[in-house]
Amino acid sequence: MALTRLDKFLADRTPHSRSDIKKLLRAGAVLVDGKAVSDAGCRIDPDAQEVRCGGKLIRGGTHRYLLLNKPEGVISATEDRDHKTVIDLVPEELRIKGLFPAGRLDGDSTGMILVTNDGDLAHQMLSPKHHVPKHYLVQLARPFEPNYSAKFESGLVLSDGMHCLPAQIAPLDVPGNFALVCLHEGKYHQVKRMAAAVGNHVEHLHRVAVGGLILPPELPLGGCLELFHKDVERMLKTCETLDLRDQIVMDFSSYSINAGI
């Protein structure tokens, strides 16, 4: 990365104003490679140097990747006049200009959603041709039937005639008619409409994985954490439904509590 002014770097990546940053610099609260810096115009290389402000590591790089555990009633949008959005859930210290949700979850659905300012990554995740799997923990109104798996894998036709790509559904060995659904696309209300197409109804939907990255079961609804490059790479890889099913069953109590099921 090209060299950039220290005060601009901090202003872009922290909630502090330029005047706040000058005060922090004068107070010795800004460290570059472990040494206090007081010069706002000092030029740094964020990719090669470590910057801390008030004891917190301020990450460089152009892009930011945040994982949110979306609660019910929060909208997958950058702004909304009537509802809280996923951007409103991002802590001030993690905010950066240009953040948006990569994909969406319905307002009444919960779980994993990526917030980023990286449009190229969002396209890779959302385009059906890249086949990035997305897994959902689903509570059905009625018991799982064995023929559901074959119907999902054959590519269901929805009530409006829309054809779905082959998908997977597998029952979970826990009380309450739970199943794990894997999609490689994201049509409107797709999981709910697919369940209706096989004669069932979705009571609750909680996204638990994108690619090979799994939602931490201990992350509470509304919780947010920063992802690193290894996590982002994992999001673009395949995670087998059967392997994931075993882990979801093992962590089911945590998911059910944090998802409000």
Backbone angles phi, psi at 173, to 5 degrees: -85, 65
> Encoding tokens for residue 192?
């709910």
- State the Cα–Cα distance between residues 68 and 115, nearest whole angstrom: 7
**Which one-letter amino acid corresponds to residue 255?**
Y
Measured CA angle at 90 (ends 107, 64), to 5 deg = 110
Active-site residue, 106 included: yes
Count of C-beta atoms within a 10 Å radius of residue 151: 17
Give me the catalytic one of 45, 106, 231, 251. Answer: 106
What single string gives the DSSP state of each residue in 18-84? HHHHHHHHHTT-EEETTEE---TT-EE-TTTS-EEETTEEE--SS--EEEEEEPTT-BSSS--SSS-
Read off the tokens for 114. 């990526």
Active site residues: 106
